[in-house]
Amino acid sequence: MSAPLSGKVAFVTGGARGIGAAVVRRLARDGATVAFTYHSSAAGANELAASIEAAGGSAIAVKADVADPASLDGAINAVAHRLGKIDILVNNAGVLRMGPVDSFSLEDFDETLNVNVRAVFVAAKAVLPHMGNGGRIINIGSCNAERMPFAGGSAYAMSKSALQGLVQGMARDLGPRGITVNNVQPGPTNTDMNPETGDFANLMHGLMALQRHASTDEIAGMVAYVASPEAGFVTGASLTIDGGFNA
């Protein structure tokens, strides 16, 4: 049986670690040629690409700063020129800045918007000239778009809520071109930035129906579904995978 993404080219932002790395591995396993960006973790990015190549897949690590529109636009155009097209865009890169409103700096606020919202829009605009019918734009949002039960998360929650409106509008714009646009909204996920141990993890588990963190592979599985031919009728959706955090 052929791989579901055979012949496809994917571009993943922030793909060197965590959820992004799991998405890169899964899309490559499903047959796509995957280009992914990294900002500072060159060694980890190159190791990930090499491991995928060694397993028979195809991956390219590309240095880019998603907060810089020129850098992100240049990376997407360079990959499209090298590989001929981009079929799947996964906007995974993001930042988490926490703090109460009265002490939250404008610098942190601007970085949150630049990386979590503006970069998604910049990447979508850059990829569209290289994406044809059947294309997929997939954003990694957050269950916090719909529920922020902790103090200090207003700017982060706002940035992820913004993606819901952006996706709904872009789905209308791009539907006539046969391009789907969706969010995948993870809940607590076991990464180096949000480990499944410690007091804060236990607090989160107490809010959930399934009292554990997701694995990064579980999130990547949802992304792989939305990227697949089976999801051709799914667009404008925010698909939550959070163990019942928002239930």
Q: Which residue range forms the structural domain that includes residue 31?
A: 9-241
Q: What is the pLDDT of residues 135-178, one digit of tens each?
A: 999 999 999 999 999 999 999 999 999 999 999 999 999 999 99
Return the number of other C-beta atoms located less than 10 Å from residue 184's C-beta. Answer: 26
Residue 246 lies in a domain: no
Which are the catalytic amino acids? 156
The whole-number average pLDDT for the span 204-224 is 97
Is 227 part of a structural domain of the chain? yes
Mean pLDDT over 127-134 rounds to: 98
Q: State the pTM of this model.
A: 0.97
Per-residue pLDDT reduced to its tens digit, 50-96: 999 999 999 999 999 999 999 999 999 999 999 999 999 999 999 99
3-state class of 115 per DSSP?
helix
pLDDT of residue 192: 87
Whether pLDDT at 13 is above 70: yes
- In this predicted structure, the answer to whether residue 1 has a pLDDT above a threshold of 80 is no
Give residue 209's pLDDT band: very low, low, confident or very high (50, 70, 90): very high
Helix axes 69-83, 119-127, angle to 10 degrees: 30
pLDDT of residue 210: 98
CATH of the domain at 163: 3.40.50.720
Band (182; pLDDT cuts 50, 70, 90): very high
Question: Does 182 map to a domain?
Answer: yes
Residue 48 lies in a domain: yes
Question: What's the pLDDT tens digit per position in 160-171?
Answer: 999 999 999 999
Is 204 part of any domain? Answer: yes
> Nearest Cα to 61, choosing from 77, 43, 80, 87?
43
DSSP state of 59: E
- Does some domain include residue 2? no
Contact 182, 226 (CB under 8 A): yes
- Strand runs (DSSP E) across the chain, as ranges? 9-12, 33-38, 58-63, 88-91, 136-140, 180-186, 238-241
Q: How many domains does the chain have?
A: 1
SS3 content of the chain, % helix, strand, coil (to 5): 45, 15, 35
Position 2 scores a pLDDT of 75
Residue 109 lies inside a defined structural domain of this protein: yes
The reply to whether 3 falls in a domain is no
Identify which of 189, 192, 191 has the alpha carbon closest to the alpha carbon of residue 212.
189
Q: How confident is the model at residue 19 (pLDDT cuts 50, 70, 90)?
A: very high
